[in-house]
Amino acid sequence: MEKHNNGSSTGTLYVVGTGPGSAENMTVAAINALKMSDIIIGYKTYLELIPEFLEGKEVISSEMMKEVDRCGKALEYADLGKTIALVCGGDPGIYAMAGLVFEMAQKAKNSCKIEILPGLAAINSCAARLGAPLMHDFAAVSLSDLLTPWLLIEKRLEAVAMADFVTAIYNPKSKKRTEQIVRAREIFLKHRSPETVVGIVTAATRENEKIIVTTLKELLENEIGMQSTVIIGNSQTYRWNDLMITPRGYSDKYQI
Amino acid sequence: MEKHNNGSSTGTLYVVGTGPGSAENMTVAAINALKMSDIIIGYKTYLELIPEFLEGKEVISSEMMKEVDRCGKALEYADLGKTIALVCGGDPGIYAMAGLVFEMAQKAKNSCKIEILPGLAAINSCAARLGAPLMHDFAAVSLSDLLTPWLLIEKRLEAVAMADFVTAIYNPKSKKRTEQIVRAREIFLKHRSPETVVGIVTAATRENEKIIVTTLKELLENEIGMQSTVIIGNSQTYRWNDLMITPRGYSDKYQI
């Protein structure tokens, strides 16, 4: 892919999506970007999932919530002419760091080249592990109200519940935030049957992966954590064996 | 990844996402699935993008709209004990063939193993080429009314326009379907400023790639075709150089 933001610096910042967290589930382009980089910067947990790409590199790892620091360092080193990989779990463009990189580069007038290497987001990998839950019109909503007013999140949940979207819930629950998923379920129950199929995927494709297919009624009786994505089916979604399947059509125009 | 639907047949059907259309943008797991397969089945246009994986394989390619035939053949051969790759452009789970495969396997009582290998969907690769247009809550809506009643599509557009979702429009326009994007724009203009930033990505990452950053007002003055995805920004999305950026926060809790 071509690079964005052609500036005067000879450095390059690759914003690299590592997908659910292993070399196998990364794209060839993302792997190549890591190999070409002098310095690899990322959140500790994501870097630990790809140890084979860190050997012989300068590695700057940091804790969660230090996104602004990580972005700032990545841009600073790239401006000095280095080739940097800023690692994001999932896809940099979906609830990750692509936006912050551009926001900061604009304010700091950085002149390095910036290239986004997309990866499999939770929405891609969790769907594949559940069978075929998306398949039709869908929405993604994060329940984290750290940077978004809760009233806007409720308005969005209400809108997509009412219009029968398959809905992927990002950041459903953390140790401190436990009430948002309770409220989200209430909103969906106003518009959808308690028997609506719901999938919960925790740590997709990793060693500790856990896949649950349940219903809106029983959603809260299941384990939901920091590594979970919740996918609420639409009115047509059904369960078959251990799978969650949304038919592609509302009509029966094709015969199968 | 583990396989779904453990049956009595020794055959395996891999449903493989090839992403925007080159080996570089596929995952290692998807490439490996193609290599392990005896027979590769897919829509002609997608197979032509990955010639290096077809050598020495039995290849069954077919025209568009023959999805049911392709799925049926893939399941039939897998049931006979073969290893089959059914190729989808993008991600099999997003407006592609994962759902149809399970729907048909269920009805025909197929007993082969089925594994979905996710790929970069248009939503991932087009976003990366535009900069960072998603970043916040987003929805995907297809304007094709072949299998979905148009009134439901309108209801969905209305819902996500009203609730300020970044919205990715799949299948915005074809030679025969030209009025749906006109109506979609009208619906968004009821809820969003004419200056709302809109991205149009055609043939992302391919030789004939075309990237346009425009506004809701001027959307229809631009070329939109069968290979285009349209991404409508939310109220906070802005343009910077040739990029489309949605800030990650509605509040200013973090200092950059």
Chain B residues with beta carbon closer than 8 angstroms to that of A250 = 147-149, 152
Chain B residues with beta carbon closer than 8 angstroms to that of A98 = 127-128, 131-132, 135
Chain A residues with beta carbon closer than 8 angstroms to that of B125 = 118
Q: Is B176 exposed, middle or buried (0-12, 13-18, 19+ CB in 10 A)?
A: exposed
Contact A147/B251, CB-based, under 8 Å?
Answer: yes
Residues A216-250 pLDDT 10s: 999 999 999 999 999 999 999 999 999 999 998 87
Chain A residues with beta carbon closer than 8 angstroms to that of B94 = 124, 127, 134-135, 138
- The better pLDDT of the pair A181, B62 is held by A181
Residues A8-54 pLDDT 10s: 678 999 999 999 989 999 999 999 999 999 999 999 999 999 999 99
Residue A2 has pLDDT above 60, yes or no: no
pLDDT of amino acid A248: 86
- How many CB pairs below 8 A link A and B? 265
Nearest residue of A to residue B119 by CA position?
A: A120
Q: What's the pLDDT band for B53 if we cut at 50, 70, 90?
A: very high
Residues B145-196 pLDDT 10s: 988 999 999 999 999 999 999 999 999 999 999 999 999 999 999 999 999 9
Nearest residue of A to residue B104 by CA position?
A: A256
Chain A residues with beta carbon closer than 8 angstroms to that of B140 = 137-139
Nearest residue of B to residue A159 by CA position?
A: B159
Q: Which residue of B34, B73, B109, B120 is the best one to mutate when testing the A interface, meaning the one whose CB has the most A CBs within 10 A?
A: B120
Residue B79 has pLDDT above 60, yes or no: yes
Nearest-CA distance from A59 to chain B in Å?
Answer: 23
Q: How far apart are CA B171 and CA B95, in angstroms?
A: 10
pLDDT of amino acid B1: 43
Contact A160/B155, CB-based, under 8 Å?
Answer: no
Q: What is the pTM of this model?
A: 0.95
Residue A252 has pLDDT above 90, yes or no: no
pLDDT of amino acid A7: 57
Nearest to A118 among B4, B107, B128 (CB): B128
Half-sphere exposure of residue B128, counting CA atoms within 13 Å on the CB side? 31
| Amino acid (1-letter code) at residue A93 | G
Chain A residues with beta carbon closer than 8 angstroms to that of B24 = 27-29, 32
DSSP letter, residue A19: B
Contact B1/A205, CB-based, under 8 Å?
Answer: yes
Ranges A159-168, A246-255, B241-250: which has the least confidence = A246-255
Burial B15-52 (b: 16+ CB within 10 A, else e): bbbbbbbbbebbbbbbbebbeebebbbbbeebbebbee
Chain B residues with beta carbon closer than 8 angstroms to that of A146 = 249, 253
Strand, helix or coil for residue A111:
coil
pLDDT of amino acid A1: 43
Contact A142/B140, CB-based, under 8 Å?
Answer: no
End-to-end CA distance of chain B: 39
What is the ipTM metric for this complex?
0.95
Mean pLDDT of the region B195-217: 97
Question: Taking a C-beta distance cutoff of 8 angstroms, is the pair A256, B103 a contact?
Answer: yes
Q: What's the pLDDT band for A251 if we cut at 50, 70, 90?
A: low
Contact B116/A132, CB-based, under 8 Å?
Answer: yes
Percent over 70 (pLDDT), chain B: 94
Contact A118/B99, CB-based, under 8 Å?
Answer: no
Mean pLDDT of chain B: 93
Q: What's the pLDDT band for A131 if we cut at 50, 70, 90?
A: very high
Half-sphere exposure of residue A90, counting CA atoms within 13 Å on the CB side? 21
- The better pLDDT of the pair B18, B6 is held by B18
Contact A32/B25, CB-based, under 8 Å?
Answer: no
Handedness of CA B83, B85, B91, B96 (dihedral sign): negative
Contact A99/B26, CB-based, under 8 Å?
Answer: no
Residue A254 has pLDDT above 60, yes or no: no
Chain A residues with beta carbon closer than 8 angstroms to that of B241 = 4-5
Nearest to A139 among B116, B133, B139 (CB): B139
